[in-house]
Amino acid sequence: AQSVTQLDSHVSVSEGTPVLLRCNYSSSYSPSLFWYVQHPNKGLQLLLKYTSAATLVKGINGFEAEFKKSETSFHLTKPSAHMSDAAEYFCVVRTDTGRRALTFGSGTRLQVQP
């Protein structure tokens, strides 16, 4: 079985300060891990993904995430928040079994204060 826990339902930062969105996963197999972003009433956009290559993954819009197997974590970071980063962020896990569907975390809403 696989599961994802996003440790914060809401995160608020000031523009220009660092962003940290936390994610822990549980998986019986070697996982693929993703971060998606969703702006209000929109579909999901892929930010980045980890698929057993480099443990530090760089994504779009300056985001990156580090896969730490010992901690079963895949936290999302950005050095400097921008107002346009305000959105809902989902940590997602997929295991390479016959069913390729995704398991989603409950989401973290990021607010960026001016």
Partner 1 sequence: DGGITQSPKYLFRKEGQNVTLSCEQNLNHDAMYWYRQDPGQGLRLIYYSQIVNDFQKGDIAEGYSVSREKKESFPLTVTSAQKNPTAFYLCASSSALAGVQETQYFGPGTRLLVL
97's CB contacts (< 8 A; 6+ apart) are 29
Q: Does 32 bind partner 1 (CB under 8 A)?
A: yes
Q: Does 99 bind partner 1 (CB under 8 A)?
A: yes
Closest contact distance (angstroms) between CB of 50 and partner 1 is: 10
Q: Does 22 bind partner 1 (CB under 8 A)?
A: no
Q: Does 21 bind partner 1 (CB under 8 A)?
A: no
Cβ neighbourhood burial of 18 (10 Å; 0-12, 13-18, 19+): exposed
Q: Does 45 bind partner 1 (CB under 8 A)?
A: yes
**Cα dihedral: 114, 107, 64, 52 (round 10):** 180
Q: Does 97 bind partner 1 (CB under 8 A)?
A: no
Q: Does 100 bind partner 1 (CB under 8 A)?
A: yes
Given candidates 1, 43, 56, 70, which one binds partner 1 under the rule CB under 8 A? 43
Closest contact distance (angstroms) between CB of 51 and partner 1 is: 5
Please report, as ranges, the residues that interact with partner 1 according to CB under 8 A.
Answer: 4, 9, 32, 34, 36, 41-46, 49, 51-52, 90, 94, 96, 99-102, 104-107
